[in-house]
Structure 1
């Protein structure tokens, strides 16, 4: 493998990076070509149109993570069961073109006979572990569907999904609160955000605290511009309230700065220190999976 074309193909966007044999990012590209924009049977065409100069270079191997492996994607990649390490994922790659293009399987786990799944976050987790030189960690990947992941001995033991971002959007756009909140979120109001987190951490349920966004506005105790930050604090605080975290227990946050900053502020109220890793964790994770494949007895077919 001379070069790795690492691809993160999600619901709304398509990102790719060209890596050398040591995992160094040489070039990056981003397109508004998430899987929902691709007609059935057109994934190969879109892929080639976006990355043709890279795919035609000799010795380039492509590894794709994310929703491209879902039922609505290019080729369905069955979920790999937890606990799982890099070797388990490498063994369950689904080949689009043998020896050239492969799709990373998502992960699944169960708690109380209820299944949970992820696609794409697993590569970010392993990338973050490598970047921070960790084998054991609690990681949080904020987003529309936030993931809390527990890793032991470099194996993902368990994870839990919280629909935090989606609930924020639903409350923000489709509840009675939408009539009070301004048209756009604006910049983060740290004081209002922290106020929302504090209330959530000391209350019983978001079903009760969410209405406070309306009443605080009604009695002019929060300006309208601060309400989106306050509501964001409420939903993120609700997520954190359910976590069995001890003061001083470190958490690794993986994702865009705009979201990880908020989680860092919220976790500070529980006296939990954090380490943050950016979205380049996906590239490092795909490189780690490709390296595990290359070092396996069967290697790249």
Structure 2
């Protein structure tokens, strides 16, 4: 079911300036933004690129109409921009990756366009490829828009920052001079889901039974400590401990998933913090993502003696605004100079 929320910032004096779409694999979110990047209204549904109302281009068109057809009709001249998996090879139209270093201007210069059945133009952001040649390549699609939104909030972050983005495929991103300079991806969330659901480890984990807060915290902490003390090649052995800690009654069955979570997050943090250590002294660490997941990462970071400079929520709407501004889609009358500028 579609969900519509009108922001408290929305008043009759806030004129819509942009329709922004955050279009992922499993969900589609739409934002009606004013000229200062404030959200006037937002909606979401489950029509991600893998769950369209019908196959092919017609399915994308139908999903867009179902989500915000009335916005398109009411505001026929508003620009429409989109980011996320809608620009992948499986999306509405492919927007090929741009290479690092990259910022909102780079994305805008190499964006793709698609036209709806009604003749409406949509500008689609490309993803970003980091391929230094001396290491394995890495890609992101969707996170670059979130980063553009985060950097617009603080000029200091745009100059220099490390951005950690927990999720299915977590990203640790180096930002320098307002651009994405490099990044690494960790399949932490996906590994957790696969191991819990499709491996031997999950057989002792009861479905629908929650651990007590004390057992959850203790099991997570044991996983974090195991990652901290790990030597080369220890992870496969430590993963099997998810089973043996249950068999020996060292942990209750309902707490085993939290050990596994702590172990995987701990290994990610250990690697990510090593990347941070290579950045200039004093580089701020930012967390962007689901609040509950970020809280878990904060617990892990505390065990490593690190406190993020900031924890941000959904920065995609602001990032879509930055992308549209860089593409010249927002008139000077509808966009404030401060909100257009993506880096000092």
Task: State whether TM-score is above 0.5.
Answer: yes
Instruction: Please give the alpha-carbon distance, in whole angstroms, between the structure 2 residues aligned to 1:16 and 1:164.
Output: 28
C-alpha contact 1:8 1:282 (8 A) present in aligned 2: yes
The one of 16, 20, 28 aligned to 2:34: 20
**Counterpart residue number, 1:193:** 220
TM score, norm. by length of structure 2: 0.81
The answer for the alignment partner of 2:128 in structure 1 is 107
* 1:220 equivalent among 249, 255, 267: 249
RMSD, matched Cα: 2.2
Contact 1:3 1:59 in 2 (8 A): no
Q: Cα gap change, 1:226/1:129 in structure 2, threshold over 3 Å: closer, same or farther? A: same
What is the rounded CA distance, in whole Å, between the counterparts of 1:22 and 1:249 in structure 2? 28
Structure 1: distance between partners of 2:51 and 2:184 = 28
1:96 to 102, 114, 125: 114
CA distance in 1, matches of 2:93, 2:329: 25
Residue in structure 1 matching 2:168, options 108, 119, 144: 144
Contact kept, 8 Å, 1:185 with 1:229, in 2: the verdict is: no
The answer as to 2:56 corresponding to 1:40 is yes
**Residue in 2 aligned with 1:180?**
204
**Candidates 71, 75, 91, aligned match of 1:54:** 71
Q: Which residue of 1 aligns with 2:312?
A: 277
Instruction: Supply the distance in 1 between the matched residues of 2:87 and 2:25 (Cα, whole angstroms).
Output: 11
Deviation, 1:186, is 3.9
Provide closer, same or farther for how the CA distance between residues 295 and 32 of structure 1 changes in structure 2, counting only shifts above 3 A. closer
Cα distance per residue 1:43-100 (max 9 Å; x no partner): 1122122111111214311110010001111000011111112211111111113983
Give the distance between the partners of 1:10 and 1:103, measured in 2 at CA: 12
Is this contact kept in 2: 1:62–1:102, CA < 8 A? yes
Q: Flag the 1:113–1:216 CA change in 2: closer, same or farther, 3 A.
A: closer
Pick from 317, 321, 326: which aligns with 1:292? 326
Q: Secondary structure at the match of 2:129?
A: strand
Q: 2:259 aligns with which of 230, 235, 245?
A: 230
How far residue 250 of structure 1 moved from its aligned partner, in angstroms, is 3.3
CA contact (8 A) 2:99 2:131 kept: no
Q: Which residue does the alignment assign to 2:85?
A: 67
Give yes or no for the alignment of 1:202 onto 2:190. Answer: no
- CA distance in 2: counterparts of 1:291 and 1:177, whole angstroms: 48
Is there any run of 5+ residues in structure 2 with no aligned partner, and where? 1-14, 331-344
Give the match's secondary structure for 2:56.
Answer: coil
TM-score by length of 1: 0.92
**Distance in 2 between residues matched to 1:74 and 1:123, nearest whole Å:** 18
Shift of 1:115: 2.2
1:83 paired to 2:139 = no
Contact 1:109 1:115 in 2 (8 A): yes
Question: Residues of 1 paired with 2:111 and 2:199: CA distance?
Answer: 42
Q: How many corresponding residue pairs? A: 296
Contact kept? 2:16, 2:40, Cα under 8 Å: no
Gaps of 5+ in 1: 297-301
